[in-house]
Amino acid sequence: MKLSKYISKILDILIALVLLLFFASFGFRDGRTSGWYQQFFPNLNGSTITSMAFLDSLTGFAVTNSNSLLQEYILRTTNGGDNWIINYTYNTPNSNWSYIKIGFINSSTGFAFSWAEMFKTTNAGNNWELIINNLYADDIAIINIDTMLAVKSNGFDGGVYQSTNGGLNWQLIWGGGGSGMPSRIYMFNKYLGFDLGDAMRRTTDGGFNWIEITGEAYRDIKFIDTLTGWKTSGADQMKKTTDGGLTWLTQQLPAVSPYFSWMNLSIVNKDTVWMCGGVKSINGFNYGIMFKTTDGGNNWGFQYADTSIKLMEYAYINFVNRNIGWSYRRITGGVHTLVGGNDTTFFTGIKLVENFIPSGYTLGQNYPNPFNPSTNIPFELNESGYIILKVYDITGRTIKEMINGRWGKGRYILDFDGSRLPSGIYFYRIEITGDITKTPFTETKKMLMIK
């Protein structure tokens, strides 16, 4: 009896050791020092990534432009990006050709679009069927297995094209060539979408008719429902809509990045949104950073992978849930998280005072005053409008432009940091133009910093 128990314990230990060796051999280990860890692409012979799509926590695809070998690739991962393989190679007529978009309708059926052809899979990328279309589109929106929209910006046949038979045939439904034709398109569903040419336009009938959204543009745009969406535009602008894209309100991003590039978005839910595209200089190296909000954009923060991972300027970000996501460059590879990333440094430079109903436009006196080195500047809007708020020194020279964009109705408190400024008298001035009344409002106040 005792011998059998002894043998049983030895067997349990042996089984545990075998399992441990098995998991270790396949990379199932938790030895990472960061919420993000690095992943790599295979040798792409000089090609760069032009589009990515993750279907779930394990399966993802990417497409590239052509290289000096006149090859463009479809890449696939089936283990969450830990390994990528060249899934399909297409020999192109010249090195200027490129895949422009990859997207999936479900776990099996997907489309990869190149300049004059598209490729379709119905078995999760195991096989790709070549379909010639000679469309030469700039961008594609895949709505369902049958319906797609494409845009062309150049030539006499530029405009918006529609296919209702899975990309086999295309017809021009808007435009007709000339200047200002769209080069980007995003469709949230079969009816609601946006394109961008000489202006940003909105459709609610599937692309047959478009209205211009005055003064707006976008680099990336995504919606979570028919009313709520975010877009990136300009040098460092994040904007949100709650009325289906008719109006857009500016959200303040952390002032940590010397420049922005791709500004790609990923929406997890109505509260949590990610964006990549900025950099932060740490000890002389510009690390790529990811921006994150957990309150719908009232406050945005930033984070970066471990400093041992020397990657900068991520171009694509994609989360399949609140914990699992990727942020990738166009070359080399990127980083992956299984735990929702690192701790985020949230930027609280401008706070919205909840449940406060303003009676008009006001610019409040800063407090504390005198201050060292930071102070609060309150302002109120009784309707949404365009705001410019700047800080000047005593000579009238602009020290910093704190706000330049549209803001919603409410009371706000701006945190001004003067730690890099000398002691002295400063002025802050607000200019507001209401969306409804169009009545301009300006006011200037004085503040004193003493170090």
User: What confidence tens digit (pLDDT) does each residue in 365-420 have?
Assistant: 999 999 999 999 999 999 888 889 999 999 999 988 788 777 778 888 998 888 87
Q: What is the pLDDT of residue 26?
A: 33
**Cα–Cα dist 325/119, whole Å:** 26
Which pLDDT band, with edges at 50, 70 and 90, does 91 fall under? Answer: very high
| Mean pLDDT to the nearest integer, 11-33 | 38
Distance CA 141, CA 279 (A): 29
Closest CA to 263 of 237, 294, 282, 244: 237
How far is the C-alpha of 371 from the C-alpha of 378, rounded, in Å?
A: 15
pLDDT score for 9 = 52
Query: How far does Cα 146 stand from its chain's mean position?
Result: 27
pLDDT above 60 for 337: yes
pLDDT bracket for residue 136 (50, 70, 90) = very high
Whole-number CA gyration radius for the chain? 26
Looking at domain 37-259, its CATH class is mainly beta
Q: What is the mean pLDDT of the chain?
A: 88
For the chain, the structural domain boundaries read 37-259, 350-449
Residue 93 near residue 79, CB atoms below 8 Å: no
Of how many residues is the chain composed?
451
Tokens of 82: 């830990």
Tens of pLDDT, residue by residue over 236-270, are: 689 999 999 999 988 878 767 767 778 999 999 99
pLDDT confidence of 25, banded at 50, 70, 90? Answer: very low
Please say if the pLDDT value at position 24 is more than 50. Answer: no
pLDDT(225) > 90: yes
- pTM for the whole thing? 0.75
pLDDT digits (tens, 9 = 90+) for 272-330: 999 998 888 877 888 999 999 988 987 888 888 988 899 988 999 999 999 999 999 99
Task: Confirm or reject CATH 3.30.2320.80 for domain 350-449, answering yes or no.
Answer: no
pLDDT for position 384: 82
